Each structure stands twice: as C-alpha cells, then as structure tokens.
Amino acid sequence: MLDRRSLIKAFISSTLAAALLPSVLANANPSAATPRGILKPKRLQAGQTIGLIAPSSNTWEDQEIYFAMDIIRSFGFKVKSAEHLFTRTAYLAGSDQDRASDVNAMFGDNSVDAIFCLRGGYGSPRILPYLDYELIRNNPKVFLGYSDVTALLNAIYARSQIMTFHGPIAKQSFTDYTLAQFKKVLFDPKSHSVLAAPPPFEIVEGQAELENRLTTVNKGKASGVLIGGNLSLMVKLVGSPYEPDFTDKILFLEDVEEAPYRIDGMLTHLKIAGRLDKIAGLVFGKCTDCEVGSGPSFSVEHVLNDRLGDLGVPVLSGVMIGHIEDMATVPIGAMATLDATNQKLTLDEPAVI
C-alpha cells in the first residue's frame, strides 16, 4: 500500500508529465525517426525553397551557377543562395570556415526546406571539423550531392544521425532516368522499390547491352543500412571521427578517373583496415574513365573480382551509381536489401516523410 508521501510524489510526477506532454508531442514526429534512431527529412515538393551551396570546389564561371539555379527552379522550387556561393579560392569555393558556415546556415534557416550542392570537386573533408552536427540533427533536411560531397553525406549521417542523399548535383541536366530515380526516392517514396537498376535495353537483332551490364562478384542476399559513395572519399574518412560504422552495412562505391591500380590500392586499404570484414554486402557502381594506362595492368573487372571475391558477402557491380549521366539517387542511412544472385538492390523503407 502506498503511504502519504508516495502518493504525493506520484501525484506531482503525473501532473508534471501531463503538463510537459503537449510540448513534447509538439516537437516530436514519430514517423520522422526510424527504430534505429535515424531521422528522415521531409519529402520534396514544388513550392519549397532549396538552399544552394558550394561546399567543395566552385564552378569556373558564374553562368554555371545561374544554370544550376534554373535547374532547381525547373522543379517548381525557389532558390536561396548561400552567402559564399560565388566565392572562389583556387580549387576551393572559399575558405573552410566560410564553406562550413554556409552548410550550418542552411540547416539552421527555417525558410530552407532542402539543401543541394552545386558541384563536387575537392575540399569537403576540410570542413568537417567546423560543422555543427547538433544543429543539423535538430533540423533534418534533404542534403543532396555526390563525388567529393561523399564526405559530408557520410559524416552528417554518422554524427547527426539523419539520412542524406547521394545523387545529382545542381549543376547538371537530369536525364529521364536520373529524373525518375530522383523523384522515386525524394518526391514519392515507396518501400521495396528497386534502386539503381540499369535502364531497359531494347533487344533487337544483332545488338546487345554493353555499357550497363551487371556482374555478380559474389552470390547471396543480405539486408542492411546503406552507406558509401565515392571510393576515394570513403577511404579518406577511415580512422577519422567522421567515419560511419561499417558494421552490417550495405556499402556502395563508385569512382572516376582512377587507374585500376589505384582502385586496387583503395579497396586494399579498406580491406586491411578491417572495414570490409564488417559489411553485410557491397555494391560497386561505375568506375568512369578508369582507363588502363601504358604498361601492364589489370582491368577494373579483375581488380573487383580479386579484391572483393573472397569477402564472403554478396557483391554486385555495374549498378547506376557514379559519375554518369543516368544516375540513381541513393539514401544513406536507409535500410536496403542486396540480392546479388538476382542482381537487384531494393530500398526497404521510404527515406523521406
């Protein structure tokens, strides 16, 4: 039986809880967080305001920035330029602190609904120490880009626990394929949708698909959270405070203008660092312009088979992820299933709310 003091304490506790509950509910969105505690940003729709930033390199000419703004407006969005969007410092789009402040400002700006990166290039790892990860966590928004932006996508996922998106930069035209994949993930999301499958090829007499063939390196099926992006950037994150946990993840990789021996070296680095021992599966997209130079060399295909063939997990290569015109939008932090036997990558949950 409760004594008088216990009854008073219970009454006070229940009264406080009742008083606090409305404010807690007002600031909570149960559908925004996954059971893993990863926050999902709101979906894109016409009329929203997109913050445009240059967190790595800048374009050579201002007209390319205005072109990117027109691409964004073509979706029915409004554009808000970052304070330092037009700044250029050699191969960087301004100082590290200025580029980081643009990222922080866009996440903290309530008038901005999503953030698109102008381009990649070089420099995003340099700004990681200057980002306000708590601010970002408290203001989840679609954050979109690829290539050098890979460092930001994975660091923000790892440190702020929000989903980010490996997909088109603002300074590019969208092919029909890129547009369809972009909208499928960010505008009208559905569970169990296939990601990054090659576009259909019309079979006619005397012709066959060559450019977008899928290759099963290791058979099998596995589910896990997606992480990854550009291979060279994922290697740069290893051992840093901004590296995502590779345990039980579906790792996706791609690269551009890297000789096969450099792809070999980077995969070897991930391997001897123990990262590839942890993953549930691996998807390799495109290695664009990864040409064999003069002298003896393995092909990229040989390197992938040699470096990934003994992992003991499903491995599929050739999906539409990378520095290509027809590119998929891939949510980092979302659950997916890789069926390397049947050559399919499936998104298991909507990545936006």
Q: Which residues are catalytic?
A: 147, 254, 323
Q: Give the integer Cα–Cα distance in Å for 195 and 334.
A: 12
Q: Are strands 142-145 and 249-256 parallel, antiparallel or unpaired?
A: unpaired
Q: Give the integer Cα–Cα distance in Å for 176 and 197.
A: 14
User: Phi, psi (5° rounding) for residue 210?
Assistant: -125, -45
Listed in sequence order, the DSSP H helices in the chain are: 4-26, 62-73, 96-108, 124-127, 133-138, 150-160, 176-186, 231-237, 260-272, 300-308
Based on its alpha-carbon atoms, the radius of gyration of the chain, rounded to whole angstroms, reads 22
DSSP β-bridge partners for residue 3 = none
DSSP percent split of the chain into helix, strand, coil, nearest 5? 35, 20, 45
Which residues neighbour 123 within 8 Å (Cβ) at sequence distance 6 or greater?
A: 55, 56, 57, 91, 92, 93, 96, 99, 148
Q: Give the integer Cα–Cα distance in Å for 185 and 330.
A: 8
Q: Are strands 221-230 and 335-339 parallel, antiparallel or unpaired?
A: antiparallel
Sequence letter at residue 257: E
